[in-house]
Amino acid sequence: MTTLTDPPKEHFRLSMLLYDTRYRSATIQVIALIGFMLLAAWIISNTIQNLEALGKPVEFGFFGEAASYDINQRLLEYNSRDSHLRAAFIGLLNTLVVAVLGCITATIIGVLVGVLRLSKNWLVARVMTVYVEMFRNVPVLLWIVLAMAILIESLPAPRAFRGDEPEATMKLFDSVAITNRGVYVPDFLFSRSLGDIHLFGTSSLRFDISLDLVAVLIVLAGSIFAMRKVSAFAAAKQESTGDRPTIWYIQLGILFAPMVILLTALGCHLGYPELTGFNFKGGTHMRNSLIALWLALSLYTAAFIAEIVRAGIMAISKGQTEAASALGLRPGRTMRLVILPQALRVIIPPMISNYLNLTKNSSLAIAVGYMDITGTLGGITMNQTGRELECVLLLMLVYLSISLSISGVMNWYNNRVKLVER
């Protein structure tokens, strides 16, 4: 009688790292990683030694020195006596402003153009095609410069608003002034303000947060949350009864009523711009450099988003539209409730790349004199201090952080809307 026994287990030997297929790939990857790290360490060490030999050791003490230059468009208080670190922070905020405004505007325009390109109206579809082909086949820098030139040359100067019979007048009940120096819009003021919170005690990074703004954001977030709950209730009722209740007026009330109550309690009123001397004073001044950069980046990126949206809609089977029509849904509701939610799973991934491109293309702001992070940290600060390596490395780190943040948020949203496999 024979007995079956398990074969003896093979003991691990160093030679197995190369000759055993179970370990060979991992061994090669580890060796390649070590080689890459050694190469990077040698390059960094050699660079530091060469800079020290030139009398320029790597250090960041220059951030505490006075910047000695002005920034024309800014969200926070700043003057030329502030430090380079403060100037870089103001430039970073300007970059984020352009990125956020550009992404929002490009998305709205891109979705509209992408949907209209599929219109059965021949003229509308062809006009949208001309827009897409014109914008995406011309470098964005040319659009930025062209937008700046149009704003400067076509809009009236502030002196045109002067006199008994002025050549130009303010818009929207004398509240908005559109000039060749920029657009002046009313500013929100609070007679019963809640005050500010002061963060970061150092002058380089002093940052004040308005409690009024915090209260507005909290109320807005609560209203949006309540609107989503109402929308979920309507969707659940439609799922159970087949009839979707009309909720738009409820959502409008939820959105505006709490905000109106809060603004009334804070004594909110508008501060209007006024022509004083040779220029307008008061209100919020949006310079032409900001407007030109915002419009050019938005229109340029929207052309690519439009093609993404069109491709995403075309990826959905026509049977979905036919089924929705058979159920009695109108075309607008079919697009909003049936087609676009499914198309988002196709649209979101390539749209992330366009958001990243818009953010990185904002570095072209120096062409029209808009002081973003590239113009401050990578421009004047680097030229004044002579710290090319430190400024460029920090600039790369800033753009990398912004891009990774955008990718993280969009990937999170993409995971929420993607199909769940069973």
pLDDT in tens, 351-409: 989 999 999 999 999 899 899 999 999 899 999 988 888 899 999 999 999 999 998 88
Task: For residue 222, count other CB atoms closer than 10 A to its CB.
Answer: 12
Q: What percent of the chain has pLDDT over 70?
A: 94
In a domain, 143, yes or no: yes
pTM of the model: 0.83
In a domain, 190, yes or no: no
pLDDT in tens, 25-60: 888 888 899 999 999 899 888 888 887 887 778 788
State the Cα–Cα distance between residues 87 and 383, nearest whole angstrom. 14
In a domain, 242, yes or no: no
Higher-confidence position of 308 and 278: 308
State the Cα–Cα distance between residues 230 and 155, nearest whole angstrom. 45
Highest mean pLDDT among 243-247, 275-279, 390-394: 390-394
Q: What is the pLDDT at residue 332?
A: 76
pLDDT in tens, 116-172: 998 888 999 999 999 999 999 999 999 999 999 999 999 998 888 887 788 888 888
Q: Burial level of 339, CB count in 10 A (0-12/13-18/19+)?
A: buried
Residue 71: closest CA among 369, 338, 399: 369
Residues 6 or more apart from 211 whose CB is under 8 A from it?
193, 194, 195, 196, 197
Residue type, 330: R
CA distances from 368 to 145, 287, 364 (A): 7, 11, 8
Q: Burial level of 227, CB count in 10 A (0-12/13-18/19+)?
A: middle
In a domain, 56, yes or no: no
In a domain, 220, yes or no: no
Domain that holds residue 86: 61-151+287-417
In a domain, 277, yes or no: no
* Residue 232 scores a pLDDT above 80: yes
In a domain, 169, yes or no: no
Instruction: Measure the N-to-C terminal CA separation of the chain; round to a whole number of Å.
Output: 50
State the Cα–Cα distance between residues 266 and 37, nearest whole angstrom. 58
Instruction: Report the CATH number that the domain containing residue 350 is assigned in CATH.
Output: 1.10.3720.10
Count structural domains, the chain: 1
Residue 178: closest CA among 285, 294, 105: 285
Query: What is the torsion angle, in degrees rounded to the nearest 10, for the CA atoms of residue 362, residue 364, residue 366 and residue 368?
Result: -90
- The answer to whether 128 and 117 are in contact (CB under 8 A) is yes
**What is the 3-state secondary structure of 342-365?**
HHHHHHHHHHHHHHHHHHHHHHHH
